[in-house]
A and B are shown apart, each in its own frame.
Chain A
Amino acid sequence: MLPDAQYANNTPLLAVRDLRTHIFTRRGVVKAVNGVSFQVRAGETLGLVGESGSGKTMTCLSILRLLPRGARIVSGEILWQGTNLAAVSAATVERVRGKQIGMVLQNALAALDPVFTIGTQVGEPLVMHQNMSWRAALRRVVELLRMVKVVAPELRVHSYPHELSGGMRQRVSSAAAIGCAPALLIADEPTTALDVTTQRQYLDLLLELQQATGMAIMFVTHDISLVGNMCDQLAVFYGGLLVEYGPRQQVLSQPSHPYTAALLQSIPQLGEPRDRLPSIAGEPPDLGRLPAGCPFHPRCDAALDGCRTGEPPPVFTLAQGRQVRCWLREHEHDRSAAGSL
């Protein structure tokens, strides 16, 4: 038996194992999440990168059990500090959601209710989850707003969302998300609706909050250049699969999946002028009509015959805990490390 401290360090906060979430529609089954495994340790930042319809948002919504109508977790486990969130009752999830796991959404204007003041909305989780009185909650809201660097927080408590700028609204919704000191913050495209300079300010704020509170962050984005200096681990999604997973620096400097490599190549980088951008032919797949085999094979330059048939490639574990779903890496598969996740 391990000593407690070491146990706490080694057990991930969140472990997702072979998660499959499908959406059942009249036109057929959409395999939005089709076998996704990853883990988040306390205080760590995981970047989830993928294009629209790659399954990254559905993965987050599955963890929080906020799936839209018709969507269902068909198999897999979501272990939150040992509890499988995929299997427990809605009431149990409610005690975790908003308290232990906070969430920031893409569109802060839509996430905030226009008819309630900032104080009411940021204070609500405190009253709900921590049995605070409204008076105490509002005092705490002022502190939270100060933490997220809202100017004149005493006055802003009484403001309505429409009175704030886009960057301020995103700060306010972050304040609501971190109010109960969650161990994990899920941020789903939190900067997409923000201006370029505001975006950078918000990312710096997130890192500062993380240092102050020690929370883990799952940062979801379609923009791989954004996660470059803030994530520890990177998870790249394509066609409902986690195609590549590993330490951020290794994934960015030596991508092992052809999709990651091609994507990184195709993005213009400031200060690296090129006459022509290498581009990825074709288009991302429709999750309702995934091709057989690897979902990336129709666009992949290196595709072999085996990539075009059967099931998607399995997860191969490489050195340094990297994982990749690509047959090209089969020979690098490290069997001894494969069981660790």
Chain B
Amino acid sequence: MTEALLEVCDLVKYFPVTRGVLRGKQIGTVKAVDGLSFTIQPGETFAIVGESGCGKTTLANLILSLMPPTRGDILLRGQPISRLSPEALMLYRKSVTAVFQDPYGALNPRMRIGDIVTEPMAIHGYPRHTRQQRLQEVLRAVGLSAESAQRFPHEFSGGQRQRIGIARALALQPPLVILDEPVSSLDVSIRSQILNLLKDLQAERGISYLLISHDLATVEHMSDWIGVMYLGKLVEIGHAKAVCSQPRHPYTATLVAAATPPGRTPPWTLPIVGEVPHGLDIPSGCAFHPRCPYAQPTCRTLTPALSTVAAQRQVACHLYTNATSADTWPPPLPPAAA
């Protein structure tokens, strides 16, 4: 097995919620990311799927080392970033770049495209002629003309701006690019262009993607692996196509059912109950239990750990703690709920 490109080990990020004039009194904690572990292999796409407020963006910020984790670590090619010297951390930041959701907010309106794309290279001390050479190369790679470098962001449409954002992310030739909802703010008829571009760039350059999205159909199309997140925890990890065709966690099943095109039967239909709770008020035990038709008394008290239930599939659910129930899929509803 090849060495993992990026390894996330029991990563935790808590945000204190404070009150009072001097913000001295802590009234609670938002567990935005609560013990995540997964690995990204070179050249592969790992997708994080979840609804708003589940901690997807906090995870991206942690991996971009824009904030320190409360606990846990991130390893790039085996090197833990918590122990890196400031110089080595600069090198790490060069290896992990990002494309953001909103192509309007992500580009400085007062800078020319050429300066936007070359700024990361200037920060990392690339000589001028390398920067110019690389600029031409990445603009061509994302399908923009060389003259675009002289223009300003407002002269471009949403789809073109997202191409500029991709060019900027590629300029440092990173092995890993984080794609935070890369198409959700684009027009529907533009989305497939950008998705195809991202796939082509991956095939040409062998880069890995961490794709963050709430749209399961896009994720299935783009990814090798899927991690499903619910309120700061991963509840299921597996091969993208397998997870979408045979979800094992009830929450994954509701996501798959909601994304199943009309006229098709979802692989596992179960009723959707209630809404995602607020991050300040996460239910005890399994966080999904108030919305889960399979909830048993243990689910209210004991948090299920992510464990391997089938080949290449990890699920955090008490349905699978006694091995027998893993054989019948989808699991039969408990008599009380049915």
Interface residues, chain A, with chain B CB atoms under 8 Å away: 51-52, 165-168, 195-201, 222-225, 228-229, 259, 262-263, 266-274, 276-281, 283-284, 299
Q: Which residues of A sit under 8 angstroms from B191, Cβ to Cβ?
A: 266-267
Contact B255 A197 (CB under 8 A): yes
Shortest B229–chain A CB gap in Å is: 13
Contact B196 A277 (CB under 8 A): yes
A52 and B275 in contact (CB under 8 A), knowing A270-B220, A277-B192? no
Shortest A145–chain B CB gap in Å is: 16
Contact B189 A268 (CB under 8 A): no
Q: Indicate with 1 or 0, residue by residue over B269-313, a CB within 8 angstroms of chain A CB atoms.
A: 000100110100000000000000000000000000000000000
Q: Which residues of A sit under 8 angstroms from B218, Cβ to Cβ?
A: 268
Contact B263 A228 (CB under 8 A): yes
For this complex, 12 residue pairs linking A to B, each with C-beta atoms less than 8 Å apart, are A165-B275, A197-B51, A228-B262, A229-B263, A268-B217, A268-B221, A270-B216, A271-B244, A273-B221, A277-B196, A279-B196, A284-B189
**B51 CB contact (under 8 Å) in A196, A201, A259, A268:** A196
A165 to B159: give the CA distance in the assembly, Å.
Answer: 32
Closest to A281 in B: B193
Q: How many residues of B contact A (CB 8 A)?
A: 40
Contact B217 A277 (CB under 8 A): no
A196 to B254: give the CA distance in the assembly, Å.
Answer: 9
Contact A195 B276 (CB under 8 A): yes
Instruction: Among A198, A263, A271, find the residue whose CB has the most chain B CB atoms closer than 10 A.
Output: A271
Closest to B54 in A: A195
Closest to A296 in B: B189
**A262 CB contact (under 8 Å) in B189, B254, B262:** B189
Q: Which residues of A sit under 8 angstroms from B260, Cβ to Cβ?
A: 270-271
A263 to B190: give the CA distance in the assembly, Å.
Answer: 10
Contact B187 A284 (CB under 8 A): yes
Contact A270 B52 (CB under 8 A): no
Contact residues, B188-231 vs A (CB, 8 A): 188-193, 195-196, 199, 214-218, 220-221
Q: Which residues of B sit under 8 angstroms from A229, Cβ to Cβ?
A: 262-263
Q: Which residues of B sit under 8 angstroms from A196, Cβ to Cβ?
A: 51, 214-216, 255, 258-259
A12 to B148: give the CA distance in the assembly, Å.
Answer: 51
Shortest B215–chain A CB gap in Å is: 8
A52 and B187 in contact (CB under 8 A), knowing A266-B192, A278-B192? yes
Q: Which residues of A sit under 8 angstroms from B221, Cβ to Cβ?
A: 268, 273-274, 277
Contact A195 B195 (CB under 8 A): no
A263 to B192: give the CA distance in the assembly, Å.
Answer: 9
Contact A224 B188 (CB under 8 A): yes
Contact A268 B261 (CB under 8 A): no
Shortest A56–chain B CB gap in Å is: 13
Contact B259 A270 (CB under 8 A): yes
Contact B196 A51 (CB under 8 A): no
A272 to B216: give the CA distance in the assembly, Å.
Answer: 12
Shortest B192–chain A CB gap in Å is: 4
Q: Which residues of A sit under 8 angstroms from B93, Cβ to Cβ?
A: none
Shortest A266–chain B CB gap in Å is: 4
Q: Which residues of A sit under 8 angstroms from B196, Cβ to Cβ?
A: 276-277, 279
Shortest B181–chain A CB gap in Å is: 13
A225 to B263: give the CA distance in the assembly, Å.
Answer: 11
Contact A273 B272 (CB under 8 A): no
Shortest A299–chain B CB gap in Å is: 8
Contact A200 B258 (CB under 8 A): yes
**Additional pairs, 8, CB under 8 Å, beyond known A165-B275, A276-B196, A279-B193:** A166-B275, A195-B275, A196-B216, A196-B259, A197-B254, A222-B188, A269-B217, A271-B220
Q: Indicate if B112 sits at the interface (CB-CB under 8 A).
A: no
Q: Which residues of A sit under 8 angstroms from B82, Cβ to Cβ?
A: none
Instruction: Among A196, A224, A283, find the residue whose CB has the most chain B CB atoms closer than 10 A.
Output: A196
A277 to B220: give the CA distance in the assembly, Å.
Answer: 12
